[in-house]
Amino acid sequence: MIKRTLISIAVVSMLSACGGSSSSDSNEGSANGSTTPVTPVAVDYRVIDGYLNAADVCVIRQGKTNCESIGSTDENGLISVSGDITAGQIVATVIAGQTKDVDNIGFVGETYQMVADISSDTPNVITPFTTIDVLDQTKSMADIAGELNLPESLLSGDYIASEEADKSRVHALARAIAAQLSTSKDENDISSLNTKVTAMNEYITTELTNANVDLNAANIFMDGDLVKHNNAIRQLADLLENGNVYVGSLNSAFFAMEGVMPAIFSDGQVTINGRTTSYEIDGDKLITTVGGEQETDLFLYASSDFSLSVPVNDKDLTVISHTVFGEPIDLNLINTWDENDFAGQTYYLLFDDAPSMDETPEPTIIKLVFSELTVKITEGNESVDSPWKIFLGMLKIDMLEAGVGDRNIVYAKSIFDKNITLIRDLKDGRAPSLMFKEESLAQAVFDKWKGI
């Protein structure tokens, strides 16, 4: 069917042809008979998965192809759009390491775009649902709502602020759809995306809603062709107060002294390595008190699999996970890689390069660009090419053959999520390192860590 925005454009065109105008574009008469133009009123748009702060926003004016930057969203996901832009599209880029979902901890982990048509007769939001509405020119929002058996008013508006009964279901589906969106809106395969949306919506309805699962605490995701869910991490309490956690430093001195320490957080008391102390949570900060002195850990990133934080006093980057990651490496139990995980790929390696007995962190980031047989390793302005291969499911980089360093490196894959992999050096027992897919997320964690 014809999209509503095209009808709106046609109406505007007819009004223009007939000499008509909207009230915001009319002229007011002055005392001497001249006219004074009225400045169009700016319009606030809200960017939502949850409310998204520091998302970059641009507009594609009607008849244009370039996206004109208008700024970034505020802490409530809002951005003001000039009132003279009455048709076209508004595009929001959610940037890994820059954008923050105000409902979650730390930075967003993946970059993606959302889009909405600019129209005078729709709520001023940019969401996963408006994105599907724009990408699928064969359907209106009413069609999409009908297929999902959800209220059109929720799909087209601010479902977070709504009081409608289905708001949690819509919000959960929106989070799941956002995770499937591409870096650029034009890279999405709308047919494939629609198939996933249908499957995820059915999963929410049949597997979660009927089982009385709290949708606000569920993170729905695709694992290949299967829809699954795990516990969502919306706040620090979701991460820390949900059974045993394990804490380990990326600093080799601390890692050698402490290893990976088990901890239990409950009712304002944390027991770590047999020692109990009090704690409190303040947004993205964990504040513990030992002997009357406070230590603050600032959390930079969190997922269901692990989180990254920096204690303000010691300044070493720390990993917290519900999975043990500090045991001696067992080649029979490690997660494995194959050549397809690296050939043609680019990764960013973040680690603490302080000497083995130095507790003062030395944040370091390097870029790894893999071809079929070699990897270009770049730190700052210096680069070296080294052979690489998969060895017993691990990544081996032949530094000796490249004439660099005094040993080869063998990395084993430890805990991971879709954005970051924790890796262990097989040979020398150094502290873990982190491998990132997105440069912006790696750089943001590096910058924040280095700046504390």
Claim to verify: residue 256 and residue 217 sit in the same structural domain: no
62 neighbors 87 (Cβ within 8 angstroms):
yes
End of a domain among 321, 354, 372? 321
Which residue type occupies 170?
V
CB crowding 96-109: b at 16 or more within 10 Å, else e: bbbbbbebbbbbbb
What is the per-residue pLDDT across 342-365, written as a single tens digit (0 to 9) for each?
Answer: 999 999 999 999 998 899 999 999
Cα separation, 41 vs 192, in Å, equals 39
Looking at every residue in the chain, the average pLDDT score rounds to 89
Claim to verify: residue 85 and residue 169 sit in the same structural domain: yes
End of a domain among 181, 199, 231? 231
The reply to whether 10 falls in a domain is no
Cα separation, 162 vs 31, in Å, equals 46
End of a domain among 231, 263, 292? 231
What is the per-residue pLDDT across 174-221, written as a single tens digit (0 to 9) for each?
Answer: 999 999 999 999 999 999 999 999 999 999 999 998 889 999 999 999
> Tokens 């052979």 — which residue?
387
Claim to verify: residue 212 and residue 240 sit in the same structural domain: no
The reply to whether 18 falls in a domain is no
Claim to verify: residue 347 and residue 267 sit in the same structural domain: no
> Tokens 């500090």 — which residue?
326
| Residue 9, pLDDT above cutoff 50 | no
Half-sphere exposure of 217 (CA within 13 A, CB side): 9
The reply to whether 33 falls in a domain is no
Claim to verify: residue 108 and residue 256 sit in the same structural domain: no
| Residue 26, pLDDT above cutoff 50 | no
**Domain tally for the chain?**
3
Predicted pLDDT of residue 37: 63
Structural domain span for residue 305: 236-321
33: pLDDT confidence band, cut at 50, 70 and 90? low
What is the per-residue pLDDT across 57-108, written as a single tens digit (0 to 9) for each?
Answer: 999 999 999 999 999 999 999 999 998 898 999 999 999 999 999 888 989 9
The reply to whether 420 falls in a domain is yes
Claim to verify: residue 260 and residue 365 sit in the same structural domain: no
Cα separation, 399 vs 386, in Å, equals 6
Claim to verify: residue 311 and residue 184 sit in the same structural domain: no
| CATH number for position 369 | 2.40.128
Claim to verify: residue 60 and residue 106 sit in the same structural domain: yes
Claim to verify: residue 374 and residue 251 sit in the same structural domain: no
Claim to verify: residue 69 and residue 199 sit in the same structural domain: yes
Claim to verify: residue 220 and residue 357 sit in the same structural domain: no
Claim to verify: residue 111 and residue 142 sit in the same structural domain: yes
The reply to whether 436 falls in a domain is yes
| Residue 120, pLDDT above cutoff 80 | no
What is the pTM assigned to this prediction? 0.86
| Residue 15, pLDDT above cutoff 50 | no
| Residue 298, pLDDT above cutoff 70 | yes
Q: Is 205 left (phi over 0), alpha (psi -120 to 50) or beta?
A: alpha
Strand partners, 293: 290
The reply to whether 27 falls in a domain is no
